[in-house]
Amino acid sequence: MNKDKSTEEKIKDAARRVFTQKGYAATRTRDIAEASGVNLALLNYYFKSKENLFDIIMLENIREFSHSVLAILNNRDTSFYQKIELLAAHYIDKLIQNPEIPIFLLAEVKDNPKKLFAALDKRADFKNSIFVQQWLELKDIKKTAALNPFHIIMNMVSMIIFPFIANPMIRNRTGMNQEQFNNMMLERKKLIPVWITEMIQQK
Amino acid sequence: MNKDKSTEEKIKDAARRVFTQKGYAATRTRDIAEASGVNLALLNYYFKSKENLFDIIMLENIREFSHSVLAILNNRDTSFYQKIELLAAHYIDKLIQNPEIPIFLLAEVKDNPKKLFAALDKRADFKNSIFVQQWLELKDIKKTAALNPFHIIMNMVSMIIFPFIANPMIRNRTGMNQEQFNNMMLERKKLIPVWITEMIQQK
DNA sequence: GTCTATATACGGATAGAC
DNA sequence: GTCTATCCGTATATAGAC
């Protein structure tokens, strides 16, 4: 399986894992070489430098992330409320598989936002998404400051992603094990859309 | 002002700033020496090693954090709903002052949760807090799964902290500047308690 | 306690053989 | 394309003078 991958792919796969786990600064090119089973010199042969390899990985991460949000936010075939359910379900499932992505991504983006976002799809601007369009067409929304759709998106994203970022601290404080944590997140797959819906509906 | 601080304090202050901003691995002891205006050799004289200095800083960070939550959660003189308002207001104000703390703390904790939490106050267990006690005494709570107070705390903490962690990404995607971001968070000081209250109240 | 100078190790990168 | 050997800058840590 891994055997017939090109050397270049093997390096990228290992780099993705190691960078994600340890962050850029703490990762040694030697770690990546070992993890990929490839000779150290080949990293520079294929990718020129550690930084360049990192940039490639990060760009893919960000593109993939952005792309999958857009696919949901800009789907004309789903309703506003369906989108909320889809976002919660999709991301929680994804994050249970790859729990280290958010903290890695956000920590590294902090150091160099410009470089990393430079190549990002302009359409990723959520203000022009179908989701926001549908929001504006909704009849049952509140007439309070909470009406700002930005807050609602912010709340949803926060409630989905933050627990994964705080996972080690949560587990330490509550004594949960990883399985219990995941079950808690699966519970939230159903709860978050309910909470969000309550926030926006007129009463 | 800074002049009459002891050399040891000057180093710690600078270390706190530099570590918080760059993370452990990316921080060079030279950076701390420069930032504190202290000779490089003195770092090892006072703190033995970079790692030891880091551990001291982190422990203080975690203790301080834990202590300030507890002070609110375990106050007998405030009601349940007041605590929610106090938590939101207190943390948002604090995070506007020190926006880099959460991502730094969570990123580093991830690498070594055991060491860092070892010395933490056992009472920090929120399950035994007055806050949860007051929750259980509430009459107007929902009879749904959302009743689990853990989810409610999780939501509140998420909605407060996550925006700061995602700040660079949010600003990049929305075009907000830092002042607009802070105003948005000040808005949330009032909104979050409202949202949380709605989540838990029987309808 | 504070400094200069330096030992020592590590990590990224490359030269050059195969 | 892949390997071994190595260069070289950099970073932590310490020795030793003041």
**Residue B65 — pLDDT band, cuts 50, 70, 90?**
confident
Partners of residue B201 in chain A, C-beta under 8 Å: none
What percent of chain B lies above the pLDDT cut of 90? 68
pTM of the prediction?
0.94
- Confidence grade of residue B174 (pLDDT, cut at 50, 70, 90): confident
Which chain A residues are Cβ-neighbours of B163 within 8 angstroms? 154, 158
Q: What is the mean pLDDT of residues A130-140?
A: 89
Using the structure, give the distance in angstroms from the CA atom of B165 to the C1' atom of D14, rounded to a whole number: 39
Which residues in B lie closer than 8 A to residue A110 (C-beta atoms)? 100, 103, 167-168
**What is the pLDDT at residue A128?**
84
What pLDDT score was predicted for residue A1? 44
Domain limits at B21? Answer: 1-48
Instruction: State the pLDDT at residue A2.
Output: 46
Predicted confidence at residue B120, as pLDDT, reads 72
* Whether A103 and A183 share a structural domain: yes
Q: Are residues B75 and B169 in the same domain?
A: yes
Q: How distant, in Å, are the alpha carbons of A1, A93, A174, B79, B136 from that of B128?
A: 50, 31, 11, 16, 11
For residues A130 and A76, the answer to whether their CB atoms sit within 8 Å is: yes
Compute how many other C-beta atoms are within 10 angstroms of the C-beta atom of residue B6.
9
Domain assignment present for B27: yes
Task: Let me know whether B77 and B126 are in one domain.
Answer: yes
Question: Which residues from the 85-114 window of protein chain A have CB within 7 angstroms of nucleic acid chain C?
Answer: none
* A18 and A65 housed in the same domain: no
Query: Of A125, A168, A191, which has the smallest distance from its Cβ to B109's Cβ?
Result: A168
Question: Quick one: B101 and B44 in the same domain?
Answer: no
Residue A174 lies inside a defined structural domain of this protein:
yes
Higher pLDDT, A49 or A115: A49
B103 touches chain A (CB under 8 A): yes
Identify whether A2 is part of a domain.
yes
Q: How confident is the model at residue B124 (pLDDT cuts 50, 70, 90)?
A: low
Does B168 touch chain A if contact means CB atoms closer than 8 Å?
A: yes
DSSP symbols for B148-162:
-HHHHHHHHHHHHHH
CA gap A85, A104 in Å, rounded: 26
Phi, psi of B201 (to 5 degrees): -85, 140
From B87, A122, B81, select the one nearest B95 (Cα to Cα). B87
Strand D interface, protein residues by Cβ within 7 Å: A 7-8, 38-42, 45; B 27-30, 40-41, 44-45, 48-51
Rounded distance between C-alpha atoms, residue A63 and residue B134, angstroms? 45
**CA pair distance B63, B75, nearest whole angstrom:** 18
Is position A53 within any domain?
A: no
pLDDT value of residue A108: 93
Mean pLDDT of chain B: 91
Split into its structural domains, chain A has a count of 2
- Domain match, B140 and B180 both: yes
Q: How close, in Å, is residue B46 to chain A by CA atoms? A: 25
Domain shared by A81 and A103, yes or no:
yes
Question: What pLDDT shows up at residue B112?
Answer: 81
- Over residues B151-178, the mean pLDDT reads 94
3-state secondary structure of A144: coil
Shared domain check, B167 and B97 = yes
Residue with tokens 């300030």: B68
What average pLDDT does the segment A135-150 reach?
79
Are residues A107 and A160 both part of a single domain? yes
Q: What is the pLDDT of residue A65?
A: 83
- Domain-embedded: residue A34: yes
Residues A69, A118: one domain? yes
Region B37-57: mean pLDDT is 97
Q: Helix or strand or coil: residue B141? A: strand
Spatial contact of A43 and A101, defined as CB atoms under 8 Å apart: no
Residue A23: which region, alpha, beta or left (left: phi > 0; alpha: psi -120 to 50)? left
Q: Is B51 on the interface with A (CB under 8 A)?
A: no
Please give the pLDDT value at position B149: 83
Q: How far is B95 from A179, CA to CA, in rounded Å?
A: 31
Of the given ranges (B5-14, B136-145, B169-178), which has the lowest mean pLDDT?
Answer: B136-145
Contact between chains at A162 and B163 (C-beta distance less than 8 A): no
- Choose the most confident range, by mean pLDDT, from A37-51, A57-71, A106-120, A140-154: A37-51
| A77 and A150 belong to one structural domain | yes
| In a domain? residue B32 | yes
Per DSSP, B113 falls in state H
pLDDT of residue B99: 96
CATH of the domain at B1: 1.10.10.60
End-to-end CA distance of chain A: 56
Interface mutation target, options B50, B100, B154, chain A, most CBs of A under 10 Å: B154
B201 touches chain A (CB under 8 A): no
Q: How far is CA A23 from CA A15, A19, A103, in A?
A: 10, 5, 10
Reported confidence tier of residue A94, pLDDT bands at 50, 70, 90: very high
Chain A, 171 to 200: residues with Cβ < 8 Å from chain B are: 171-174, 184, 187-188, 190-191, 194-195, 198-199
Residue B100 lies in a domain: yes
| pLDDT of A123 strictly over 70 | no
Mean pLDDT confidence for A7-35? 97
**Rounded mean pLDDT, B53-82:** 92
Q: What is the pLDDT of residue A117?
A: 79
Nucleic acid strand C: bases within 7 A of protein CB: 1-5, 10-16
| B164 Cβ neighbours under 8 A, 6+ residues apart | B95, B99, B102, B103, B185
Nearest to B106 among A109, A165, A184 (CB): A165
A29 touches strand C (CB under 7 A): yes
Question: CB–CB of B127 and A188 under 8 A?
Answer: no
Reported confidence tier of residue A149, pLDDT bands at 50, 70, 90: confident
Q: How far is CA A50 from the centre of its chain?
A: 23
